[in-house]
Structure formats: structure tokens, C-alpha cells
Chain A
Amino acid sequence: MLNFYQPQPDQGTPEKLIGKQVTLQIDGVEVTVTEGTSVMRAASQISVKIPRLCATEQLESFGSCRVCLVEIQGRKGFPASCTTPVEAGMRVRTQSDQLAKLRRNVMELYISDHPLDCLTCPTNGDCELQDTAGELGLREVRYGYSGANHLDVDKDTTNPYFTFDASKCIVCSRCVRACEEVQGTFALTVDGRGFDSVISAGQGEDFMSSECVSCGACVDACPTATLTEKKIIELGKPEHSVVTTCAYCGVGCSFQAEMKGDQVVRMTPHKQGKANQGHACVKGRFAFGYVTHKDRITRPMIRNSIAEEWTTVSWDEAVQFAAQRFKEIQASYGKNSIGAISSSRCTNEEVYLVQKMVRTGFGNNNIDTCARVCHSPTGFGLKTTLGESAGTQTFASVDAADVVIVMGANPTDAHPVFASRLKRRLRAGAKLIVIDPRKIELVSSPHIKAEFHLPVRPGTNVTVLNALAHVIVSEERHSEDYITERSDLDAFEKWRNFILDEKHSPENTAEITGIDAAELREAARLYAEAANAAIFYGLGVTEHSQGSTAVMAIANLAMLTGNLGRDGVGVNPLRGQNNVQGSCDMGSFPHELPGYRHISDSQTRQLFEDEWKVSLDSEPGLRIPNMFDAALDGDFKGLYCQGEDIAQSDPNTQHVEAALTALECLVVQDIFLNETAKFAHVFLPGATFLEKEGTFTNAERRISRVRKAIAPLSGKADWQATMTFANALGCNMSYQHPSEIMAEIARLTPTFTGVSYEKLDRLGSIQWPCNAAAPEGTPIMHVDEFVRGKGFFALTEYIPTDERANRKFPLLLTTGRILSQYNVGAQTRRTDNSQWHPEDIVEIHPHDAEERGISQGDWIGIQSRVGQTVLHAEVTERVTPGVIYTTFHHPVSGANVITTENSDWATNCPEYKVTAVQVSKVSQPSSWQKRQKSYHDEQLQLLEKALQ
């Protein structure tokens, strides 16, 4: 899919999907299109390009530039083709002498206020204004250039990724409209009017101080050089491009990596990408500079102990070293003393290989994935109730939702492209219920106002969900018919009796949850009465000691109200990392083979044994927390950790560090010397998503291709590295290309049997299940019946966490994400995104702050039962009294030094979202932070020689 670079095709106005077909004549040629289609778009269907400047298919037509005027028989004047809908029998003429003159005269007006520096302009050759002037044959500007103009306006270069040069602006408002319609931030406006109209960010500010979130939709929309990527200014136009999939969040946006030789010039969201449809966020579009950051380690390294210097070695030497150590460990401590952690950032094929290597090379099932610490309760909860460990919808399905619940998720920061889509739907009239301890952006922001915000006390989600269900059942607002037809009625009866208990009423739970009973009742009614209601949830639901219960309670709510199995409804987990869904699908759990089939199931095991030509251990292996505990107990000594920074991301950092220190051989495969690698003995250089072939599966089960744009800096893509390591262990793998791995996955996994690279290339992406029953994939699941047959109403008793606030630890700390940074920040911290978020800060309510004499910007110490860290304070009403909030994007923040080892009863997913703490004003970093800094400095020194 390597193409010569050219701008993505644009038919000028949005596609109309629904309506009857209308036939008209354009320039004597008949064309049939859906009613509501513009004359402009209809013309483009027969390859008639009508010149235009303010129109683009990403935006509703606007009709301002007046160069797309046409003649229509029987109509007066010259209608704009972008704003004129087709009519049956219409006869349109797109070229005539009069039109030519009119368009040229309009262009002449534009150029009378435009610099004539095309040759030195950064978008020379990629400029719609330039192209159109050429098409229209403009030869002179009779007004001269001495009149009023905007040529002396200063450039705004404050945004790290793009410049705003208003002297080149034609005030087509495409940027303003993109910010409104596509992104939904409304950060841009037109300032003034008439000739003085100028585009303004915020209140006439520079872009960085405005409300701009740097999604880049405006840059994409700009038809001139006014908004231009700095990379384009620096490097010039790209010459070829590759379509690939973003490696940030679980939205899984499709991008065109636009290249010049082996350099990425820019990432442009791909309009055909079904997850993002041409939109992107500040991470995906701009934050790719980490790929070539100087901190990248591109050669394998080894050392005997973590106090020693690193030595650079060949791949062969590195894997032999690791393999030998692992064999020795197994010889001394037994088969189960080694294990691996796969990464949700790697491709499906890579994750698959790691688990295959563990099961066939290590001979055990000690394979776990980082989904353990985020969405494992989703897998468990949805499998139990509905029968499949995955979200039920496509993102596009939200366009049909009338009521949306967002619970424990902050889409505008963590899933920005989906958030834009959701906001668009909300602006069009859907109602929103936010259940979150924090006043997230969706609660109230430009043109968005949640109908209800239920500020749940951290740790009491299950109570809230039970109360919602209680209202619906006790007020008989549930869908009796749906339940009768679709659910296990015995289970439902039991559940009904359980939920009707008055202890679940909003009035009786208000004290636990902190939510006003009347508000909760109204919210429940709104959800229950909606024609289509959808639930989107995130880690604020799963990362609790009752995470699995909460997921089941969510599924119960959806079944209860008949909101499953069609467009506009469903239960939708918003996955944190790009390939959380995929890494779970690929069997990288200690108890499951690919396709969520239990390892104890001999039939499934047999299938794999036949394919892999080994016998498999039927006993589930260790989960990540078990590995740490076992390491500290001395039973677990060797770990292969791919693309995952457990030292920063897992809870109770000091416990993790002790476990890592106890290992005899830690093999880390990563692109940087991350926090975990500082405890490693073998470092295998990883490859970024731009350096390899493969697939990612996003939160809507969409499998999309990852395509190589540049060669792996280390010489090996991660799948090749894993294969080399596996072969050193004696596995005998010989894949030539990831497509062969996918073919093997398809052979072995019923939900993947129809998936192939050929089909992915053809369709662009596929939502699993994809098999004989659904050859092109399954956008919406559970349509006629649930995957498990009858839906199962699980009892969702609320069992409070042990992590409770008391006199000593009176506040609850909860954690989350911020837009500009991603996860542990390893990538985004190495880009200019850090300009927006240079450090993690802690949010505290003014009441709590005042009580403790804390003011804005103070250093505050946060002490939990397991540790202490120090961060700067932000005093804000975004959090409710009694709750503090921080992010964990910077290692030095030590957010996980304070989180505890409490975890979900079913899956061990850590309870990141609830930690009882006390805070106080302090004057210096915590002792852990000081230790962290000195250890960090020490490890960098040990690295120095290897890098020379």
C-alpha cells in the first residue's frame, strides 16, 4: 500500500447515505445520486471537477467562496454548486464563458489580497488556492496591490506543530468549521467582519494560549499555506505515503504516513479509516517525533547484573545470552519459574508470537498482558453476561444513540477522536449522562451539557449501577419482552429479587455513593425510556476491586432495557491502549488460548498442539501480580517483558521494583530504556509502529493494518525479535511475514477464520468475528441472540473495597489521563506534547485545600498506606470534596508509589482508581522520588558506554 503522495480525494461536500436516487444531467452527462447530494458532489461522480475553495467533503457546505457557481437551466443567476442540492431532471452547466469570467473575477479579488510568493511558499504545489487560480486562468490583478490588504500580519508560531500565517488566509472559514463540526472544540472564530474579517484563535490570542487542542483538523482543512505543519515548512512536500494505524489509544485511527525518503513528513488522518473518518488528535497526528528521538536504543544490550554497565552485542549474542539464562533458571527453579508479559502496544501477530513462545518454548502458561491492569474485568464481565469479551458496537453506532452514558471514562482526553464523534451526536440532540467522580469536559463544555452528572464517590460504581437498575425495575421501566426473549429467565428472576431489595434504592445508597437520589432516579428514567441508549465506559469502571462486578452490572442495565444488538445501543469499553482488544484476543492470558478459549479445554488444546507440534500445559499460569509475588517469594526468576513499562504502570511501585530486583534474568524489549529496563539484564531494541507490518485491533473489534513506513532502526521488527528469541529457546519458528502469523491465527481461532491480509487490504479493516457466518466482519454483536445464547443477569452484590478513607487517610485519590500525554508517557514525553503537560499535578477541591492551607501550585505530599509522593497542587472544583486526582504520565511523579495492591476479585485488575490518602503541604520531593532520581541517573551512566 505504498503510494505516490497525493492529497486525499475530496468530492467537496459530505456524502448523503439515505434517500431516494435522483437523476440529473451535468454538462450533458446523466448522473444518479442520493437526494440531498450537492450538485458539486454529483459532478465529481462523473469526474467533473467544479472549482472550489471553501468546500470540502469533511464539512457541511458553506457557500462563501463563490467560485463553484454554475448555471442551472430554468434558474436565475448562478447558484453555488456546493449548496444547491440535486433535483430530478436538473440540467447543470459547469463551464461557460460567463462562468469562466465570473470565477476568474472572484479569484482576482482573492489574489488582490494575497502574497505573490508561491515559489517560496511552503505549500507550493499543494495549495488549493494556487491550483484553482491555475484552473481558472487568472492572468492579472487589475486592482493592483496597493489597496487595503492583510499582507503584513504577523505569523503565529506558538503551536509546536503548525504555524498560522494570516497573511495567506482567504477567510474561507474551513478551519473554524473544522474546529466546530469535526473536532467540536469551537476554539476558532472569525474576528471582526467584512474586509476586516480575520481568523482568530480564542479571543484573538495565539494558538497556544487559546482553547485549541491541537487536533490539527484546521490544518487539514486549510486550502492555503495559512495553517501549515512545521514539518512541511522544514522539509517540503512529501513524495510517497503509506496507510497505517495509529499506535496510541484504543480508537485505532487510520493514518496516511506521508514520507519523504525514509523520513515521516506528516501523519494525515485517512478519510477511508472507518474508526476516525479523517479525524485525528494531537497525539496521533503530531506526536510521532519519538520514533526518531535520540533516546531510542537500537542495538541489543546485555549485562550480568543490574549494577553493571550495559554491553552492546549482536542480536544473536543477546538472544543466546537470554535463552541460556532462562534455561538455567528453569533447570534450577523449575519449569514455572519464568514467564512473559506481552504488550497491548504491539501488533496482534507479535502478541500471538509471545504467547506461543511461552506455551511452546517456556513450556508453561506464564503469559499475561498489560490488559490485566486495565480491561481484564471487561473480558470477564462481558464474557459472563453476554458471552463475548468485547464491546458490542462500532463507534459509528453512536450516531444513532438518543441517550449516552459515559462512565469512568474521559473521552475528550483519552479517546479524543471518538469524543469528537460523540460530541457531534450530542450537539445534534442526544442526551448525556456522565457518571464520574470528576467534572470531566463532557459534563459542560462548548455546546455540550450533560443532562446529568452523577459524581460517584470512588469505589462505589457497583452501588450506583445497582441503584440505576433498581429504579428501572421497581418503576417497571424495563423491557419485559426483550428480557423474556433474550435472557436466561431463571437468572433474571433471581437477579430481579436481588435488585428489588430496598437497600439498592437511590435513597438508601445516596450516602454510600454521594449521589443525589432524585438526580439518579431521573437519570435512570432517561436511560430506560430512550429509544436507543448506549453505554461507554473506561478504566474508571474496571480498575476497582469490584471492576468485574461493575462490568456485569453495566451489561445487566443494557439487557434490562433492551439496549443490545442493534445500531445506537450497546456496551462499549473504551480501551486504553491501541491493541488492548487484540492482545486479549490473541490468548496472552495465563488461562486462555487465542479466541478466549480456556487452556483446560482439551479439545482446544489439541487444536493448538497439532498446529504447534508440542504438548501444552493444561494448568493456567501466573498473572502479572502473581509473578511479582512469586518473584519476591523466590519462585519466579526470569521474565520476558515486551513493550510494557510495568515499573511505572503497575500499582505499588516499590513492590514492583523489589520484585524486579529479585529476578535473575529480566529481558526487556522496548524502544527506550524505560523504567522497567533499568532493572533488566537483556535489552532487545523494539520497533515502533512505523517500522513494522502487522495489525492492531481497536476498541470496536476492528482489525486494521499496520504498515511499515520506515525500516526498523534495530534491524528487526518486534515479531522478528521475538522469533529470534524463541528460536534460541528451540522453538523453530520461521515466519517470513506477519501475514503468515495471521493466517495461523485465522486457522486456529473461530472468530478470525475469515481474516487475511488480502481481505484487510481490500476492505480497509474488519471487525471480528469474521468467519463463514460473517465474511466481511461483524459491526454489531449479539444481533439476534447473545453469543452465549441467553443473556445472563449476574448478581452484582456490592462488596466495598478494603481501601477506605478514614481519619488517617481521609481523602480518596483517583487517577486518569490527559489529552496530550499517553499512558506512561514514554512516547509523548519525547515529543513537543510535553509543552501542554510538562508534569503531573494533583487536583484538589478548594474545601480540602483550604482545610490544609494548600494553595494553587504548592508542593503537596500524598501519603497512602503503601507510599508517598509529592506533586504540585491545582485547586479546582473539577473534583468533588474528598477526592483528589492525578495523572501518571511522568515517572518522577510516582503516582503508582501510592496506589495499592488491591485488585479486582475476579481478574486481579489493580484498584488504581481508589487509594485512601492524606495530603499535606511539603517543601521537597518524597524519599522515593529522591531514590528514583538517583537510581535513574545511575542507570543512565551504566548505559553511557553502550551508546558510544
Chain B
Amino acid sequence: MLVKSPMQENRAEADDIKAIVEQFQGLPGALLPLLHAVQSRQGYVAPEWVPAIADGLNLSRAEVHGVISFYPDFHSQPRGQHVVQVCRAEACQAMGSRKLEAHAKKVLAVDYGETTLDGEFTLEPVYCLGNCACSPSIRVDNRIIGQVDAALFDQVIADVDKIESSTVSSSTAESFSYQFYLSRDTSALAVDAEAVAERLQASAIESDLEVNLVRTGSRGLFYLEPLLEVDINQKRIGFGPVTAADIDSIVSALATDPSIHPLYLGLVDELDYLSQQQRITFARAGLGDPVCLDNYQNLAGFDGLRKALLMTQQEIVDQIKQSGLRGRGGAAFPAGIKLQTVLDTTSEQKFVVCNADEGDSGTFADRLLMEADPYQLIEGMIIAGLAVDASQGYIYLRSEYPVAHQMLNAAIQRALEAGFLGRNILGSSKDFHLEVRLGAGAYICGEETAMLDSLEGKRGIVRVKPPLPAIQGLFEQPTVVNNVLTLAAMSSILQSGGDAYQSMGSGRSRGTLVVQLAGNVKRGGLVEVPFGLTLRELVETYGQGCASGRAMRAIQVGGPLGAFLPESQWDTPLDYEAFTEIDAMIGHGGVVVFDDTVDMAAQARFSMEFCAVESCGKCTPCRIGSTRGLEVIDRITSDQERQENIMVLQDLCDTMEAGSLCAMGGMTPFPVRSAINYFPEDFSGELA
């Protein structure tokens, strides 16, 4: 066997780094993509490679070092053969992730950030994998696994070398007698849809059955995943949740009477969870192969774009204004006004940036859309580009979404080949280039200005406003920055007109509301309804109570910066203004349910801890305040000058809220204060 000497290895590595650097030279904001490339080739970014990287990109060593040290995804040291990440976010906590992380540490005999002695595993925390309706979740290398308990964890660890990360495949075979549909989105895969698919294929061969399996995106009924659908007389009936072991019996049932099967769900479209929804943005989700262009176009895809191409820029912007669409990332800023600002700002180069850094615990709508209907986002971005005369778009995607990454890249490639993207879109002489850029594990990069810095290849530090990104955004140019759902909605608005969209909703909240039901809930999934449904209706009608069968105690709405709502507030209607009135927010629509075993002091502590972990470190209230908050809560719960410290904590919350630069520090007080105010008994020491 040829053994390389250390020196040869060094030279080979150096050559490799050099080649990677050359590949990325000249790319705007190249540092993050370059570091991802180095990291994925070598497993880490050694300090001795930094000078070559810095030199190649005309950066200083200090800058490269600063960026590496900012993002959890980048490592200066080699890690284990496999990286095991345990999700610590709220939706997973609601389903017992604290126990799971303790188990993981015990089994692997390491703490977070450490590698097992044999070099096999590195254990890391992660904050949300977007699989919140099938929690608790872990990620092993590139595979996300849901509903993990101790036993499943041990099995995953034991079988780790058998795991292969899947790639985009749409296996449409020739002529078979059964047409099956099975999602290959993150959540379905996380509950082993792959095994179901394999078994289905195997079963087909064994029983000489003709099977055509289309891998779709999910319909968002995650409590039913893996949801196997079969086309019977042009209607889709469902079975779920299905395991590989159920396949043979399902196949037999199909030959006789499917309805006798215990997992038989009937017509999928008629499932109450789906039929009560009003799906606009998610109308196509789960229906077909997400990257099949024909499929998209058969379902009115690119109709909005075709209309937009015939309109003036102002006409497009007017349609969006008319629709009343507001940003779906959390801030609910009118999308049309933002487009107008960018349109009115003169510049040779403008950008459209999609914020796909969906970091809030309990949210997965963006992921679902990107995995189930990526063309809708692409179309929306092209329309936004046309509206403001931006020829370049970026999708800033969190790295915790590997499946969405594959899906988007496949879709972009096909759209490019078919002339919807790139130069001269559909012969219109308009250009729009689109590129996916991966984040690197920093929650703060979901904040739009930190995201812009990150896209520029810098540390994801929050910028001050003004200047607004619409005037001086990416690379200091006018930039449309919107969330995935907001941009996607632009395609349907252009397709059916702003008025149609405007006709739905309540108050100033127009269109539909997308909520994600997660945590300790019986029926977790995605719900798209008109604004106005109350929280109680949502968790009771759709969620049907806690998965644990216990009573619901607290509901956190709006991600880790959202308030914990006690039962007395569950009748609040789900619209932006109504939530603001009760010091809460809908944000990106994440709804995480906790049962009565939840320790609200621990949740308050976690909220501060999350802020301490994810703070960019720029402004003082967030940088120092979150760490002090954690310490004060520990003093409270350990009964040290409890009353005084509760006062200090309230004071600190005021300071963070009024003094922080962005919502991270400014809103961390919301969950903390709501926990103290609505669940004071958990801080009294009496429960302990």
C-alpha cells in the first residue's frame, strides 16, 4: 500500500487548497462558499491554509480568521469521522430532546464540541433542523433523523456506516399498474421514507407488480409521514404513517379493498387537516415531482412570470402593492413598498436576495416550499428582479437544510436550461441569474442585515439602519430582501392578480397565513389558512392536543424570540396586530406546543442561553446581557436573593428590549418575560 509521507500530504493539501481558491477567485462574496468547499473537502479549515485563502481573495488573514471563528459550521481542527448533531431548539425540547442530549453525551462519552477517543464521532448542538413536527431530531452527517428516542439514537450510532446521504432522484419508471407518491422531503426522510421506498421497489420486483413511484415534496401533513399515496381512478388515496413493514400489506390491500388496511386514510384531498386549509402558496406542495418543470407548468407554474414579462416595472410593483402582501419572515413589512423603494433607487446593479435562513425553532414552511415547490420561489424571485431591474438573485439558505439545497440547485439548473433563468429570459431580453449561497450555522444571519454581511463573505454582524437594504443593501447596492414565502407569493399574485390576493385575510393582514404546528402536538404539520383563526382553534382543530396525551400548558408562537402564551391567551386571533397587542408576535408562524411537564424557568433560561449562543456580539445589551441573564436566572432558580434577582432580570429585559440593535437582543425578553409573568409558579421554587 502506498503510504503518503506527512510532507507529501501537506503538499497535496496545499495544492488542493490552491485549486479551491482559484475556483472561487472573482466570485463576489466568495469567502463563505470557499470555506464550505474547503471544509467539505478536508473536513476542516486549518490555520496554515488561511494565508493562501486570504491572499487569493484579497483579504487579510485576520478577516478570514474572523469569519471562520464566527460560524459554527467552520472548524479549525479536524473533527470525527461522523458528526452527530442533536437539536436543542424548543420544538425538540417539547418532545424530550433534553433527555436525548443527555443520552447522546453518555453513549458517546463526550460533551458538545468533543470527539470520541476513537475519532469516530463528534457531538455538536444544533439549533433547529426544520423537522419540528417530527421532533426530537438529530443530524448525522448529511442525514436528518426525526422522532429520535434513546433506542433509535443507539441504533443510528451502531449503523452509522450504513447511512448514506440521499441525493435528488426522481425515479419515474415506464409503465406500471400502480402510481405511488411518496415524499422525499426532509421530514419524510427523517422518519425513514427511504426505507419505505426501497421496500416498495423490492416488493414490486418480488410480487412482479408494476409500480411507478413518484417522489414528491411533502403535503405538510407531517404527522402522517411517511405518507404513501396511490392513484386510484385519478384520485389519490393515502396510507400513513407507513413503515417499510407495512408495504406488503398495503400492496395486498390495493389488490382487494384498500380501505380495510389499518393505515388507510381515504382520499388525501379530503383529509380534514388538508380540506379545511386554504392553500395558495402551498397549493402544489406534495402533488408531484418538485423539480419536474412540466409538472410545475401544468399547475399554472410560470404563468405569473409570463404575465410579468408583458408588464412595466411599475405595473408589477403595483400588483404587489395591491395585493397587500406583507413580509412573511416576521417583520410583516409591506412587500410592495419595499419593491417600490428599490425600483426608485438608481443603480447599475441591484439584487434580489431571498432569506432562506429559516432558523426559528418550530418553523419549516420555507423548507417545505423549497423542497416541494422550488420553482415557485424561483419564479417569485425572477418577478421581483423584473420589478426592480435586478439581474442577480441570491438565495441565502441555511446549511441545516441539505435536501432543500439539492432541490434548489437541481431546479435552478433545469430552469436555466429551459430558459426561465439566466440571459434573455423566455426571449424577453431580460436577464436574471440566481445562485444559492449556504449559511454556516449562525442563527443571526436570518436577520436581514447580518445575512447581507454574510452573503458578502463577512462575519454575520448586524448592520445599523439606515441605510435600508432597499437603498444600500448587498455590496452597498439597492436590494430586495424578502423571505421565501413572500417571494414565492409574488408568483401567485402575478398569476391571479393583486386583487385576488387582497380579497383574502383579515384587517391589515392580507392573503393567507402559514403556520407551522410543532413540538408536543398530536398532529404536527403545515397549515395555510386565511388570517383570523384563533390559536386555540389551530392547536385543537388541527393539532388535536399534545402528542404526549397530557394537557397543553404553554404555546410559544413566533420562534425562539416569541412569547410563551398561557391558556388565557389562546383565543387571540392569528393576525399580526392582534398578537402585537398582547406583547407577542406571529413572526414566521412557528407554533410550538408544550405539555404540562414543561419547566418554564428552564425555558426562560434557554431563551437567554439561545441569545447568548447566537448573539453576533455587536451590541452590548445582547452580547453581555444575555450571558448575565442566564446567570441571573440561575440565581433565581437556585433561590439566591430571588426577589431582587427577579427585579434585576426584569430590568435587564427592559435594557435588552430598548437598547439592542436588532430583534435578537430586543426580543429575547419576550419569551423570558412571558415565562415569568404567566408562569410565576415555576420561578417560585415551590415546584422544585
Contacts and interface: CB of A to CB of B under 8 A. Distances in A.
Interface string B347-382: 000000000000000000000000000000000000
B69 A192 contact: yes
Contact of A196 (B55, B617, B652, B658): B617
A63 B619 contact: yes
B624 A113 contact: yes
Interface stretch (A140-148, A357-365, A843-851): A140-148
A338 interface: no
Interface stretch (A76-84, A578-586, A856-864): A76-84
Contact of A143 (B465, B613, B628): B628
A66 B464 CA distance: 12
Contacts of B442: 193
Contacts of B213: none
Interface in B502-516: none
A65 B620 contact: yes
Contacts of B615: 193-195
A109 B655 CA distance: 10
B655 A202 contact: no
Contacts of A143: 628, 631-632, 648
A155 interface: no
B464 A110 contact: no
B539 interface: no
Given A186-B63, A211-B62, A102 B624 contact: no
B17 to A, nearest CB: 15
A110 B66 CA distance: 23
B627 A66 contact: no
Given A106-B621, A143-B632, A211-B60, A191 B616 contact: no
Interface string B43-71: 00001001000110011111111100110
Contacts of B621: 66, 106, 109
B62 A189 contact: yes
A890 B590 CA distance: 70
B47 A203 contact: yes
Contacts of A191: 65-66, 69
Contact of A200 (B66, B613, B628): B66
B631 A446 contact: no
* Interface residue tally on A, bucketed by range: 35 or more
B60 A197 contact: no
B486 interface: no
Interface residues of B, number: 50
B60 A62 contact: no
B626 interface: yes
Contact of A147 (B444, B623, B628): B628
B620 A106 contact: yes
A186 B62 contact: yes
B655 A105 contact: yes
B616 A193 contact: yes
B648 A197 contact: no
A233 interface: no
B524 to A, nearest CB: 31
B660 interface: yes
Contacts of B617: 171, 190, 192-197
A85 B464 contact: no
Which of the listed residues A190, A203, A210 has the most CB atoms from chain B within 10 Å of its own CB? A203
Contact of B661 (A63, A142, A188, A197): A63
A449 interface: yes
Nearest to A60: B464
A80 B658 CA distance: 11
Given A147-B631, A194-B612, A200 B624 contact: no
Contact of B627 (A102, A188, A195, A444): A195
Nearest to A80: B464
Contact of A446 (B59, B65, B644): B59
A191 B47 CA distance: 13
B459 interface: yes
Nearest to A449: B58
A166 B659 CA distance: 25
B576 to A, nearest CB: 16
Contact of A195 (B55, B626, B648): B626
A112 interface: yes
Contacts of B65: 189, 191, 200, 202-204
B447 interface: no
B614 A194 contact: yes
B462 to A, nearest CB: 9
A548 interface: no
B240 to A, nearest CB: 42
B618 interface: yes
Which of the listed residues A62, A187, A195 has the most CB atoms from chain B within 10 Å of its own CB? A195
Contacts of A78: 658-659
Contacts of B612: 194-195
B62 A193 contact: no
B631 A171 contact: no
Given A106-B621, A194-B626, A62 B464 contact: yes
A945 interface: no
B113 to A, nearest CB: 13
Nearest to A105: B655
Nearest to A172: B620
B303 to A, nearest CB: 40
B427 interface: no
Given A80-B464, A109-B628, A109-B655, A186 B60 contact: yes
B625 interface: yes
Contact of B59 (A66, A195, A447): A447
Contacts of A65: 619-620
A317 B466 CA distance: 72
Given A189-B63, A195-B615, A202-B65, A148 B70 contact: no
A147 B627 contact: yes
B366 to A, nearest CB: 24
Nearest to A148: B627
Interface string A711-743: 000000000000000000000000000000000
B651 interface: yes
Interface string B67-84: 001100000000000000
26 contacts: A61-B464, A63-B464, A63-B619, A64-B661, A66-B621, A69-B658, A69-B659, A78-B659, A102-B658, A105-B655, A109-B621, A142-B648, A143-B632, A186-B62, A191-B69, A193-B442, A194-B616, A194-B622, A194-B627, A195-B615, A195-B627, A200-B65, A203-B62, A210-B62, A211-B60, A449-B58
Given A61-B464, A109-B624, 16 more contacts: A105-B655, A109-B628, A189-B66, A190-B459, A191-B66, A191-B69, A192-B70, A193-B617, A194-B614, A194-B627, A195-B627, A203-B50, A203-B64, A211-B62, A446-B63, A447-B58
A-B residue pairs, 10 tightest by C-beta: A189-B66, A197-B617, A186-B60, A194-B615, A63-B464, A203-B65, A83-B464, A446-B60, A105-B655, A189-B62
